[in-house]
């Protein structure tokens, strides 16, 4: 069992005053010795005032930088050995925090709150998350139950090693999950129910939907590029081989198209090989100040 000395609850918030009025008092009722940090990401409502009235630590951005940027600001300000990340919109319930901490204490480096089907806001989002989970599970060789959940408990020391990798947008959970698997850290899951959010979502379906395929490729390049590039290379190689067999048997010659397909397969394979080496450099552990002192 792990021994936790101090816990930091980090909540990124942008114009979430309506939900914070309910959330912060509920967190105070938990029998957990934890500091509560709300990162005010350029809010234009009473978010900062409500946080101060509830004795929460406020880290303010002068303008909105994004959910991922707020997460990074909160992690830098946190003094805890264990970080708890949760949304400010009411979808993450405070009573689930002890459940995540309990599993974390069993030896995991990160524990993710996994949403069930009833927690998904729409069929489109349910389909998208299911596809993300399936692809990421293939890439890592481990079952990933909820790649995009923002409700998680994580070792502060290990999380801060990857701050430089995290994007400023909404895809930070994807990045940190794949980074932990790549580094060989242990990731656990706890089933949760996420109720409907309070207020209007900051996710733009059209804008964020266009990033769908980019995230798919990002999942591959973050973990093991060869698992993404090799199948594509093999597809072009087999197509070239099949086309060569057809033209040789029908015309007795090797055409330019066959050369193009074979050349493309080789180029894709070499790109994957180079990407694999670059990715390995990204995940070299950087010792933090605590390691240097020890």
| Integer angstrom CA distances of residue 108 from 1, 74, 80 | 10, 22, 17
Name the one residue in this structure whose structure tokens are 């349910």. Answer: 126
Q: Which of 30-44, 96-110, 208-222, 229-243 has the lowest mean pLDDT?
A: 208-222
pLDDT, tens digit, 9 for 90 and up, residues 134-147: 888 887 788 888 88
pTM for the whole structure:
0.78
CATH no. of 7-222: 3.90.550.10
pLDDT given at position 62:
93
207 has pLDDT over 70: no
> What's the pLDDT at 294?
39
Share of the chain above pLDDT 70, in %: 82
Q: For residues 123 and 153, which has the higher predicted lDDT (pLDDT)?
A: 153
Per-residue pLDDT tens over the stretch 11-53: 999 999 989 999 999 998 988 889 999 999 999 999 999 999 9
DSSP states along the chain: ------EEEEEEESS-HHHHHHHHHHHHHSS--EEEEEEEES-SSSHHHHHHHTT-EEEEESS---HHHHHHHHHHH---SEEEE--SSS-S-GGGHHHHHHHHTTT-SEEEEEE-GGG-SSHHHHHHHHHHHHHHHHHHSS--S-TT---EEEEHHHHHTTGGG--SSTTHHHHHHHHHHHHT--EEEEEE--PPPSS-----HHHHHTTHHHHHHHHHHHH-HHHHHHHHHHHHHHHHHHHHHHHHHHHSS--HHHHHHHHHHHHHHHHHHHHHHHHHHHT-----HHHHH-
Q: What are the residue ranges spanned by the domains of the chain? A: 7-222, 225-282
Q: Please check whether residue 72 is in contact with residue 166, taking contact to mean a CB–CB distance below 8 angstroms.
A: yes
Position 200 scores a pLDDT of 57
Residue 70 structure tokens: 């707020």
Output the pLDDT for position 122: 55
pLDDT on residue 51: 93
> Packing angle between helix 212-223 and helix 123-140, nearest 10 degrees?
20
pLDDT band at 3 (very low <50, low <70, confident <90, very high): low
């Amino acid at each position: 069992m792990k021994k936790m000395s101090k816990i930091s609850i980090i909540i990124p918030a942008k114009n979430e005053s309506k939900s914070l009025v309910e959330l912060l008092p509920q967190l105070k009722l938990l029998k957990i010795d934890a500091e509560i940090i709300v990162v005010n990401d350029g809010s234009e409502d009473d978010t900062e005032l409500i946080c101060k009235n509830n004795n929460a630590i406020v880290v303010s951005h002068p303008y909105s930088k994004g959910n991922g940027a707020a997460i990074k600001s909160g992690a830098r300000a946190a003094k805890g050995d264990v970080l708890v990340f949760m949304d400010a919109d009411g979808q993450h319930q405070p009573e689930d925090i002890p459940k995540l901490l309990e599993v974390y204490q069993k030896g995991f480096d990160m524990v993710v709150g996994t949403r069930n089907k009833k927690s998904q806001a729409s069929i489109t989002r349910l389909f998208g998350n299911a596809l993300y989970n399936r692809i990421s599970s293939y890439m890592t060789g481990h079952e990933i139950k909820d790649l995009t959940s923002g409700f998680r408990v994580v070792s502060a020391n290990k999380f801060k090693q990857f701050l430089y990798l995290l994007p400023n947008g909404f895809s930070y959970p994807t990045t940190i999950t794949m980074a932990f698997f790549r580094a060989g850290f242990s990731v656990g899951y706890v089933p949760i129910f996420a109720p409907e959010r309070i207020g209007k979502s900051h996710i733009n379906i059209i804008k964020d939907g266009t990033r769908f395929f980019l995230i798919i490729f990002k999942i591959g390049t973050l973990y093991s590029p060869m698992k993404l590039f090799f199948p594509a290379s093999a597809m072009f190689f087999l197509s070239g081989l099949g086309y060569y067999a057809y033209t040789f048997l029908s015309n007795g010659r090797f055409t330019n198209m066959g050369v193009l397909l074979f050349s493309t397969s080789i180029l894709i394979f070499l790109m994957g090989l180079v990407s694999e080496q670059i990715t390995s450099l990204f995940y070299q552990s950087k010792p933090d100040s605590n390691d240097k002192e020890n």
